[in-house]
A = this chain, B = another copy of it.
């Protein structure tokens, strides 16, 4: 792994695959067809893209039971425990409505309500990610969303992966449909005979899914479009090189465009980690992916002081940040931008990816400067509440009318004055 002094964070920025104009046209066409022909279009696309000839889109009770048979009992218990941890952590994020009352009788407040319905997209393909099901569904459930719908493209045999079905059931999803790609996003946004539309669509997907989400945005809400993933490790001489190397590689194995960065004040650690990464790389099943990621977007940054190291971290605004130093809590206050902050050697990133309870859907590619992990707020909305008393109105009405006239909005001023006339 390359070692440099200081870092220009723009070096690590990767382009986000926004899709081509051609792909955009394909997606628009798919959405129009699903809007138009509903289930029929959905099934035709599923046959075409997923080679599955479906009689029913809905996953049946029997399929769910078969999925439970298929997954190791111990594994089911682990998924249940993870779901419980996620639920427990996210409960702390739940906001309540509030109001302030004034002596003149005025009441101002904020009413917080869950979204009515949410659609969760779960990608298909070779790997199944039950953890991603938990991370997207549980916060919606905690927020109080009454209807949570899951969609995922079936395999050619018309089935969804057992572990995904089990995770969905544990998370509390009652409606699961076999549909993927832009066609599933269209069905969630506009509804078909079988699938009622939802108010928000979340979950990762390929470029067609991302383009479709962008296209329906406004008619429904969407979550952020995820970019390539990254980890930054901030470490001093007390860190173990083999642990740091393993953590960097756990990110690198995701994607050739993933990024793994060590920022350290210790030259010894820098050199040891560089060597360890090479050694561990050679023994990884996904070594080709990890190697390309490390070559293109892996970096060890050596700084003279911890303050300079932290400056580098804030410039990167990493999705995942591990702080493995003598006293990591001492540094927490200085970290301005990071999706998730893992403190100390036992807080290896996979602890948060799977189990501790925090969300693994995090802002990528430097967007931690302005974005947050997926959280309960994403599934609630606010309404302002204004109850103006007669007293407050009499006291302030003329000021409000004057402000409206300053902006040339005469009808606004007259709406105020209509009340005076009626007194």
Contact = CB atoms under 8 A, between A and B. Distances in A.
A362 B413 CA distance: 20
A346 B389 contact: yes
A25 to B, nearest CB: 12
B400 A355 contact: yes
A68 interface: no
Nearest to A393: B346
Given A250-B409, A253-B412, A389-B346, A403 B354 contact: yes
A288 to B, nearest CB: 12
B373 A412 contact: no
Nearest to A240: B422
A348 B419 contact: yes
Given A243-B419, A377-B377, A340 B286 contact: no
Give the contact-size bracket for chain A: 35 or more
A202 to B, nearest CB: 11
Q: List the number of copies, as a whole number.
A: 2
Contacts of A399: 78, 81-82, 355
Interface in A101-123: 106-108, 110-111, 113, 115-116
Contacts of A375: 110, 382
A386 B246 contact: no
A228 interface: no
A244 to B, nearest CB: 9
A249 B341 contact: no
A403 to B, nearest CB: 4
Given A370-B200, A411-B286, A387 B354 contact: no
Interface in A394-412: 396, 399-404, 406-412
A252 interface: yes
A243 B422 contact: yes
B419 A128 contact: no
A100 B356 CA distance: 12
A335 interface: yes
Contacts of A406: 75, 130, 163
9 contacts: A110-B375, A129-B407, A280-B414, A332-B385, A335-B383, A349-B412, A349-B415, A351-B388, A351-B400
Interface of A: 16, 74-75, 78-79, 81-82, 89, 92-93, 98, 100, 106-108, 110-111, 113, 115-116, 126-131, 163, 199-200, 218, 220-221, 225, 227, 240, 242-243, 246-247, 249-250, 252-254, 280, 284-286, 290, 328-329, 332, 335-359, 362-363, 367-373, 375, 377, 381-390, 392-393, 396, 399-404, 406-416, 418-419, 421-422
